[in-house]
Amino acid sequence: MKGELFKNVMSGDWEHGERQLQGYKLLLRHTEIPRDIVFPKVDNHRNSALHFAAMINQDNHKPWPIPGAALQIQWEIKWYKFVEESMPRPFFLRANKDGETPEEIFTKTHKELVKAGGDWLTSTSTSCSVVATLIATVAFASSTTFPGGTDCRSGKPTLENQTSFQLFAISSLIALCFSVTSLNMFLAILTSRHQEKDFGKDLPGKLSIGLSSLFVSIASMITSFCAGHFIDVLEAKLKYLAFPVYAVTFLPVFAFLL
């Protein structure tokens, strides 16, 4: 009975990966099922728990409801490492009847997912790097331009003491810095070899930093435009009506977050 429970948890036949993960955690905490009894259990093909963890992606089974092949393989690696860390080290190199270790099975069964993850990252990084390049170009031009011109004697901006000008200058610089950071992250992803181990932390981490930096640069660029526009309408009687318009311009940013 204990062996069947163990096999059902590890076989990957559950509807969602979260349920499988919680089931395995429950198995680890169960005081009536000692680890030294459960973990040595193997099936008729001498597959251990780690072999089953490596077989999760067989038959195009996708237990993790996560969009994108790159993030899918990341969670597959996390699940495999979680099971691996809960087992004694001698099990890592134990082969089944076919002479395959858990690591070899994982590499074989996830080969297509790794390829799909690499293609997805390449496509996403290419598109985002184009956007980051455009923002960096505009931000650089904005950061070297002074609304209102400069004083002919001192060479300083004539509106340097205005709050809107200071906001314009700071937001332009932030947009430039974060867009360049984002571009560097996406270029690092594009030049990566996209190996299986890279999907554990390296590539998802770079993707997260790249997307976050891109979002900050977009928000900063919009802030810069709004501040620059407010300088132009500073003397207008209807200048305070510009604030609702500025608020509307941030709707795409909120849509990006959602």
**Predicted local confidence at residue 234, as pLDDT:** 58
What residue ranges of the chain have pLDDT lower than 70? 1-41, 56-65, 90-92, 147-152, 154-160, 232-239, 256-258
Collapse the DSSP code of 243 into the 3-class scheme (helix H, G, I; strand E, B; otherwise coil) and give the result.
Answer: helix
**Predicted local confidence at residue 12, as pLDDT:** 46
pLDDT tens, residue by residue, 70-86: 888 888 888 888 777 77
The beta-strand segments (E) located in the chain are none
Contact 175, 221 (CB under 8 A): yes
CA distance 88 to 81: 13
- Cα-Cα end-to-end distance for the chain: 46
- Within 8 A by CB and 6+ apart from 172, the residues are 139, 142, 143, 220, 221, 224
Q: Which two tokens stand for residue 5?
A: 């429970």
Half-sphere exposure of 23 (CA within 13 A, CB side): 16
**Predicted local confidence at residue 29, as pLDDT:** 59
**Predicted local confidence at residue 175, as pLDDT:** 94
**Predicted local confidence at residue 127, as pLDDT:** 94
pTM for the complete prediction?
A: 0.75
Q: Which two tokens stand for residue 34?
A: 């000692």
Contact 47, 93 (CB under 8 A): no
b/e code 5-41 from CB counts within 10 Å (16+ = b): ebbebbebebeebeebbebbeebeeeeeeeeeebbee
CA distance 36 to 38: 6
